[in-house]
């Protein structure tokens, strides 16, 4: 069967610079999932992830990508992307899929521009080019160390025109390469035939090879929320207690009795979730019986006095039959990190610890104890009824 366009995302498990890099989260979404999402946003329906790693494979499945098992000999440090692509094309051919156009996406580029990818696919599909790669315009002066000297590359050091007066250079970004599939098979290399560049915005050109670059990408995702995250489409909502249902403070009387402050609007939000058939769980390390008392008042399940929230969440999800990818978890502190790393929709409150907010796909604008749960509930319910919400939160 001849297919139109197939996107292949090679994502091996080994990474020395950033261990587990391809499933590291940027804007609350694993890098490999961001690449899958970009391909789909560009109109590519057949998206394949080639990997040797089970965690990457699980993530790809959760985002509805097709899998190709990448052999160990093609997943080492010296293995080329071309070898993984050719292997994936062979596997797809055995499955009866022979694409006319191949889009090669790199998960280490967290901001693959869908519009640019779509245009590149159209140019190869129409026959205007055989291979199109993403590139950013640059007016930089480049220098090269050669022997004992540093020499200019591509410019005359004595001629320093203004940036706007210099013809722009094009710098390959590594985000995507779109190729005629038959031509790629024949050349066994991504650059062949009629080459052209697809210019993309410079701000999308970051690649992640170091922990520092990962943190920069997370900061950019925080500042530039993705419109695709307008609604929270999940089947369950799991929440921390202190700092989420409460304002993270406690009153203590002369007898040592503690009391907390909660929001009545949160109570209505939980009620609306339950009436919509959405499971709700309070998951807390707090041992104070006030947690169970509040859960009983809300009519929801509670698991508290637990040390490992991630493990408890996995066990609960298996028991109630809800995939982790279909769960929203809202937290505020370091002990929420393991749970936030597991779910499809990690959420944080505005005052969250940096370790929690860095993992979040959404940061709410309503604080804990002041309507945070109600805000989250409205976003979840809006997704359920398929309407376009006007969310208050900053989306990642």
Q: What is the DSSP string of 126-164?
A: TTS-SEEEEEEEE---EEEEETTEEEEESS-TT----GG
Same domain flag for 212 and 298: no
| CA separation for the pair 117, 106 (Å, rounded) | 12
SS3 for 270?
helix
Task: Please report whether residue 376 resides in a domain.
Answer: yes
SS3 for 291?
helix
Q: Taking Cα atoms as reference points, which of 94, 12, 14 lies closest to residue 60?
A: 12
Same domain flag for 207 and 129: yes
What one-character-per-residue DSSP string does 199-266 give?
A: E--GGG-----SHHHHHHHHHHHHHS--GGGSS---SEEEE-STTTTB-S--EE-TT--EE--B-HHH
The 3-state DSSP composition of the chain as helix, strand, coil percent (nearest 5) reads 35, 25, 40
- 362-363 and 394-395 beta bridge pairing: antiparallel
43, 234 Cβ separation under 8 angstroms: no
135, 172 Cβ separation under 8 angstroms: yes
User: What pLDDT, on the 0 to 100 scale, is given for residue 396?
Assistant: 45
Of 199, 224, 249, which marks where a domain is finished? 224
Q: How many domains does the chain have?
A: 2
Same domain flag for 70 and 100: yes
Same domain flag for 115 and 242: no
Of 204, 224, 244, which marks where a domain is finished? 224
SS3 for 325?
helix
| CA separation for the pair 117, 38 (Å, rounded) | 8
* Tokens read off for 348: 């944080």
Residue 341, domain CATH: 3.40.50.1000
User: What pLDDT, on the 0 to 100 scale, is given for residue 395?
Assistant: 44
Residue pointed to by tokens 């026959």: 127
Same domain flag for 215 and 256: no
Same domain flag for 215 and 258: no
| CA separation for the pair 234, 323 (Å, rounded) | 10
| CA separation for the pair 233, 64 (Å, rounded) | 15
Task: Please report whether residue 273 resides in a domain.
Answer: yes
Same domain flag for 28 and 133: yes
Q: Which residues contact 264 (CB under 8 A, 6 or more apart)?
A: none
User: What pLDDT, on the 0 to 100 scale, is given for residue 161?
Assistant: 83
Task: Please report whether residue 386 resides in a domain.
Answer: yes
H or E segment to which residue 49 belongs: strand 46-51
240, 291 Cβ separation under 8 angstroms: no
Residue pointed to by tokens 């006095």: 305
Task: Please report whether residue 147 resides in a domain.
Answer: no
Task: Please report whether residue 162 resides in a domain.
Answer: no
Task: Please report whether residue 229 resides in a domain.
Answer: no
Same domain flag for 202 and 301: no
Task: Please report whether residue 369 resides in a domain.
Answer: yes
Residue pointed to by tokens 């005629």: 180
Partners of 258 in the β-ladder: 252
Backbone angles phi, psi at 48, to 5 degrees: -120, 135
User: 329: domain range?
Assistant: 236-395
User: What pLDDT, on the 0 to 100 scale, is given for residue 227?
Assistant: 64
Task: Please report whether residue 375 resides in a domain.
Answer: yes
Long-range pairs of 344-347 with CB within 8 A, sequence gap ≥ 24: 344/62, 344/234, 345/28, 345/232, 345/234, 346/25, 346/28, 347/232, 347/376
Residue 198, domain CATH: 3.90.550.10
Q: What Rg value do the Cα atoms of the chain yield, rounded?
A: 24
Same domain flag for 199 and 297: no
pTM for the predicted model, two decimal places: 0.83
Same domain flag for 219 and 243: no
Same domain flag for 183 and 310: no
pLDDT tens for the chain, 396 residues long, are 556 999 999 999 977 778 889 999 999 999 999 999 999 999 999 999 999 999 999 999 989 999 999 998 988 888 899 999 999 999 999 999 999 999 999 999 999 999 999 999 999 999 999 999 999 998 888 899 988 899 988 888 888 888 777 777 899 999 999 999 999 999 999 999 999 999 999 989 999 999 999 999 988 887 766 666 667 999 999 999 999 999 988 888 787 787 888 999 999 999 999 999 999 999 999 888 899 999 999 999 999 999 999 999 999 999 999 999 999 999 999 999 999 999 999 999 999 999 999 899 989 999 999 999 999 999 999 988 764 444 444 444
Same domain flag for 67 and 210: yes
* Tokens read off for 158: 């004595």
- 327-331 and 394-395 beta bridge pairing: unpaired
Residue pointed to by tokens 């915005």: 201
């Amino acid at each position: 069967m001849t297919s139109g366009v197939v996107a292949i995302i090679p994502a091996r498990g080994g990474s020395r610079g950033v261990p587990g890099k391809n499933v590291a989260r940027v804007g609350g979404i694993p890098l490999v999932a961001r690449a899958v999402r970009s391909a789909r946003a560009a109109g590519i329906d057949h998206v394949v992830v080639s990997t040797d790693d089970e965690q990457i494979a699980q993530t790809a499945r959760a985002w509805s990508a097709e899998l190709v098992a990448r052999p160990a000999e093609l997943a080492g440090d010296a293995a080329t992307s071309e070898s993984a692509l050719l292997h994936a094309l062979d596997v797809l051919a055995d499955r009866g899929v022979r694409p006319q156009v191949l889009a090669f996406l790199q998960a280490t580029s967290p901001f693959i521009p869908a519009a640019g990818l779509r245009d590149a696919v159209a140019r190869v599909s129409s026959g205007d080019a055989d291979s199109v790669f993403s590139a950013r315009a640059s007016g930089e002066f480049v220098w090269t160390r050669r022997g004992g000297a540093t020499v200019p590359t591509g410019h005359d050091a004595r001629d320093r025109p203004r940036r706007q007066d210099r013809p722009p250079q094009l710098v390959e970004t590594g985000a995507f390469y779109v190729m005629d599939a038959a031509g790629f098979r024949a050349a066994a290399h991504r650059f062949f035939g009629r080459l052209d560049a697809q210019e993309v915005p410079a701000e999308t050109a970051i690649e992640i090879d170091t922990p520092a670059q990962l943190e920069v990408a997370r900061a950019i995702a925080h500042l530039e929320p993705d419109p695709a995250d307008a609604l929270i489409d999940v089947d369950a909502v799991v929440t921390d207690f202190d700092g989420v249902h409460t304002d993270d403070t406690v009153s203590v009387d002369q007898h040592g009795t503690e009391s907390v402050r909660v929001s009545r609007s949160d109570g209505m939000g939980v009620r609306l979730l339950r009436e919509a058939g959405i499971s709700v769980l309070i998951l807390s390390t707090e041992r104070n019986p006030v947690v169970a008392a509040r859960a009983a008042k809300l009519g929801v399940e509670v698991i508290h006095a637990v040390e490992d929230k991630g493990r408890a969440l996995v066990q609960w999800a298996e028991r109630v039959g809800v995939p982790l990818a279909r769960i929203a978890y809202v937290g505020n502190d370091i002990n929420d990190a393991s749970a936030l790393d597991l779910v499809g929709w990690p959420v944080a409150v505005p005052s969250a610890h940096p370790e929690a907010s860095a993992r979040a796909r959404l940061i709410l604008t309503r604080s804990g104890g002041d309507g945070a749960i109600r805000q989250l509930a409205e976003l979840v319910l809006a997704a359920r009824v398929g309407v376009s919400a006007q969310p208050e939160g900053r989306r990642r």
